[in-house]
Amino acid sequence: MYIGLASGFRLERESEYGTPEQNAAVATIVEAVRREGDDALLRYTASFDKVELTPERLRVTQEEIQAAYGFVEQDFLVALRQAAANIRAFHEKQKRNSWMDVSPDGTMLGMVIRPLRRVGLYVPGGKAAYPSSVLMNAIPAKVAGVPEIAMVTPPATGGREGIDPYILVAAAEAGVTEIYRVGGAQAVAALAYGTASIPAVDKICGPGNIYVALAKRAVFGAVDIDSIAGPSEIAVLADDSADPRYVAADMLSQAEHDEMASAVLVTPSEKLAREVEAELKRQVALLPRREIAEKSLEQYGAILLVDDVNAGVDVINKLAPEHLEVMTEDPLELLGRIETAGAIFLGPYSSEPVGDYFAGPNHILPTNGTARFSSPLNVDDFLKKSSLIRYSKEALLRDASGIATLARHEGLEGHARAVEIRLEGGESQ
């Protein structure tokens, strides 16, 4: 862990572009599914997941989803439903109306805003199957009004066709409309190009391993994709008023995710810095995921000393962290100067897991400094806009010479004539 002046610290983790072998493997799989459809999809599922399926067994049935409800604990279901309700309520506030502007001369200009028609959601299998991520991906699409949300997730390996029941329940609660038991690059290709069993989508979202990430890159253009998520990050901006136990616990809640995760404290208080360091040592020793958290802190953890909280904000704006907690005397005083962070948590009770699971804002956030230009997953990501232009004859008469002047300057005579032909003939018939 780096402890010292902020000027001496740089957080650098390379983005994952895969090895040439991985890229070649993904290109082969994507092309095979594109050409052969279900045949290739089932062949790769048999080969990678050791599960032999027929096209009829690709889609998870309503009965299987019902059975999953019988399996999950009541307290899980209650918590999941409350989280889903909170996420839905927050994202409802992001919705937008189509709008128009009408003029007395009969001109109408506006934007028509509509949901995407069909979205695909990738959900990893095994230990990385997080019900919370299903909610965070699917609910914004549902709120946007996307009528078809198709989820893919690998079957349990070793011949068992089952899907984690917690994932099935989360999908049903979130409003997913179809679930397919396929995973890997082959599932991404199926969503992008469509097969006889899985119709093509317009956008693919959701996390996955390196093969899934490379497949998403490979199909981008044919469909839209969400961002490729990097390892998780937290920065805590705190002064003497902060409780070092809280700061340390929140840093560890990131560090336990992944050895590549980063947890950084930015503070003007040497006292807090010492106390947090001690607390990190004490608390990390008690964590089940101690080894991961220790490696993360060692490689990418830092305690950065700054002159004052304002200098701390400058450091934060350069870091552009995925999560930022502000535990200072008066967090609102600083908010206006905080320019770049995926999510901002204010005050001592806004622990980051509150946002990961429950409060309502999305936990899918820009990583690796991309908060400089990217945003949390939100309803806009599932909407498309069309400009709307209705000109009247009166308006066209008024603007024709300006349009023709600009068109002719750019050497586009046909553009000028398309306007002028309407001036000669009077009515359109």
Active site residues per annotation: 322-323
Q: Is 61 in the site for a second copy (CB under 8 A)?
A: no
Give me the 330-369 binding string for a second copy, x by CB under 8 A, dash otherwise. -x---x--xxxxxxxxxxxxxxxxxxxxxxxxx--x----
Q: How far is CA 425 from CA 78, 136, 389, 399, in A?
A: 69, 56, 22, 17
Residues 6+ apart with CB under 8 A from 259: 292, 295, 296, 299
Give me the 261-300 binding string for a second copy, x by CB under 8 A, dash otherwise. ----------------------x---xxx---x-------
- The answer to whether 363 is annotated as binding is no
Tokens linked to 142? 């549902």
Q: How far is CA 119 from CA 152, 224, 381, 382, 391, in A?
A: 11, 9, 11, 8, 34
Site for a second copy in 150-169 (CB under 8 A): 166
- Minimum gap (Å) between residue 82 Cβ and a second copy: 5
Q: Is 140 in the site for a second copy (CB under 8 A)?
A: no
Q: Which is nearer to a second copy, 59 or 318 (CB)?
A: 318
Q: Which is nearer to a second copy, 58 or 170 (CB)?
A: 170
Contact 394, 376 (CB under 8 A): no
- The answer to whether 74 is annotated as binding is no
- Minimum gap (Å) between residue 47 Cβ and a second copy: 29
Contact 213, 347 (CB under 8 A): no
In this chain, which of 37, 120, 124, 131 binds a second copy, going by CB under 8 A? Answer: 131
Instruction: Give the 3-state secondary structure of residue 90.
Output: helix
User: Closest Cα partner for 163 from 183, 149, 148?
Assistant: 183
- The answer to whether 323 is annotated as binding is yes
In this chain, which of 36, 101, 298, 330 binds a second copy, going by CB under 8 A? Answer: 101
Specify the pairing of strand 108-115 against strand 99-102.
antiparallel
| Cα angle: 147, vertex 207, 320; to 5 degrees | 110
Site for a second copy in 35-54 (CB under 8 A): none
172 φ/ψ angles, rounded to the nearest 5 degrees: -65, -45
- Long-range interactions of 95-101: CB distance < 8 A, separation 24+: 95/143, 95/144, 95/379, 96/379, 96/380, 96/383, 100/388
- The answer to whether 186 is annotated as binding is yes
- Minimum gap (Å) between residue 327 Cβ and a second copy: 8
- Minimum gap (Å) between residue 4 Cβ and a second copy: 25
Using the contact rule CB under 8 A, the part of the chain among 24-32, 136-144, 207-215, 388-396 near a second copy is 388-396
Q: Which is nearer to a second copy, 203 or 216 (CB)?
A: 203
Size of interface with a second copy, in residues (CB under 8 A): 122
Contact 279, 248 (CB under 8 A): yes
Contact 15, 227 (CB under 8 A): no
- Distance in angstroms (rounded) separating the CA atoms of residues 422 and 99: 28
Residue bearing tokens 């490689």 = 299
- Minimum gap (Å) between residue 88 Cβ and a second copy: 13
Using the contact rule CB under 8 A, the part of the chain among 40-48, 152-160, 300-308, 371-379 near a second copy is 371-379
- Minimum gap (Å) between residue 17 Cβ and a second copy: 9
Q: Is 401 in the site for a second copy (CB under 8 A)?
A: yes
Q: Which is nearer to a second copy, 1 or 58 (CB)?
A: 1
Residue ranges of the annotated binding site are 122, 186, 209, 232, 254, 257, 323, 356, 410, 415
Residue ranges of the annotated binding site for substrate are 232, 254, 257, 323, 356, 410, 415
